[in-house]
Chains A and B, each alone.
Chain A
Amino acid sequence: MILHNYDLYEDCFRVRLLASCTEQSLELVNVNAFPGAEEKSAPYLKLNPLGRLPILEDGELCLRNLSAILIYVAEQDAQKRFIPKDSAERARMMDWLGFACQDLSVATEARAVALLDAPGDVAVLRAKARQLFRILDDHLTRQSLRGEIYVAGKSPSLADIALFPAFALCRDFNLDHDEFPAARLWARQIRTLPGFITMPGIPDYH
């Protein structure tokens, strides 16, 4: 699998994190996204007319949608360890995967405005992201009451992997973790997953 990657993009990190936690290797093609905007160059627009990263290639396959990429990589894992077998649990996982990849794109955007000169109003985006992390924190509070520490059940799933970067990186656009104690505890669990890796902005405590 080839990942067209930019190290500072959290969406690219989500894919790298998943690959690492599932013991799969990715061939990284580093794209000069900032300041070069290489993902909007002619050859890249051929791969993804939307002019965005990440892009995942595997043989004939070329994927540009974040959830599609994550699901594909999770399924390539022989153990499929992050895809729940139970259908209800799998549906809950997909529900939160949608939250991570669609709803929380405001957090990705806020960070891009704060760090990478993207256009947008960071205060508005930050307020939206804060509402979403509240929802996540409320949910994780309920989960732990039921003895389930992950978003979709007792075991970590693809949704947790997809959610973690957004939460871990929100300080980049000045949203602190203060108000989200349940999410803080959950993030600490994600850090202990075998294969866990970091990226700039997510400190390695060792």
Chain B
Amino acid sequence: MIEPVADLPSSLEPLLERFREGKVTALARAISVVENERTGFQALLHRVLSAGPRAARVGFTGPPGAGKSSLLAGMAAAYRRQDERVGVVAVDPTSPFSGGALLGDRIRMNDLATDPGIFIRSMATRGSLGGLATTTKEVLDLIDAFGIERVLVETVGVGQTELEITAAADTVVVVLVPESGDGIQAMKAGLMEIADIFVINKADRPGADRLVKEIRQAMHLRAGSALKDVPAHHGVDLSRVVAKRRSRDVALETGTWTIPVLKTVAQTGEGVDGLLDAVSRHREWMAETSELVLRRRARAGTRIRDVVDRELRRVAWKSPSVQAGLEDGLDRIAKGSATPYSVAGAILEGLLGSRASR
């Protein structure tokens, strides 16, 4: 019933071959196969993933219009100048009304559009919550397996509960803007927990310094050391306070990683160098500590659970005996001789044996 992972449908053999030859059309089609969960997509992933993850994966999350795509474009351009190949996956929401989607992130990346060293793919969430589509992580794996060194991924801009990104990227950049509110809101949204790097974009607008300060304070609140950085007097020259803070250890430490809070103006490219630097420092830190190994291990664990969940669901709801049990159960519920729980228990017992009902 479960398709054996090793069996690639013969219809996908030529695709696999062209993928291995490095044909961009094959990468693009392989992504569609995975995104549409076409028959054999898991076998395809299994075949190409054997080398394990290699690419440096950076995720961008933050509210709508914060400048995620613009920043990502700036970073991609910089990596291209170093002659590294770049893959970009940008996720936009599927309309719950029509099931359609307007995928507009490429608009910010037009300068890179014809560079053969960059591959950009837009994905719709297709009903998935959490900021990514269900298959986005697998699409990142494909791009990695294709041999692209830098993989950048952008979540939909909903601003909350975008935890999925932590399971997709090695480094998570949370992008906010001066209008995003204050540090407390960032705390409420859970952004403190997912950020490896904070960026306040649109720093050309008023309020950027204030937000930088508040985020730093909020991080101290979490670290339980808020008071040590509050200036004793008001009326202190603000620039001096800020300078002093930077030189001191003001940001939150996770292990030995100090989460930087950066300012950028994506439109002009101001601050993008600082972001590049922070990303590469984070990568070095992950490599020096065992963090990268741990994160990749956690990612693989999540993947296994996801695949098992998906297959269980597929097997369960495709099975004729489960369908029959469901129909029969509904009749018995209507007659008052069963409850949803007893019917579910019977279905599980049928699928998994008597262990399931315990």
Co-complex (A, B): no
Residues of A within 8 A of B (CB): none
Q: B residues touching A (Cβ–Cβ < 8 Å)?
A: none
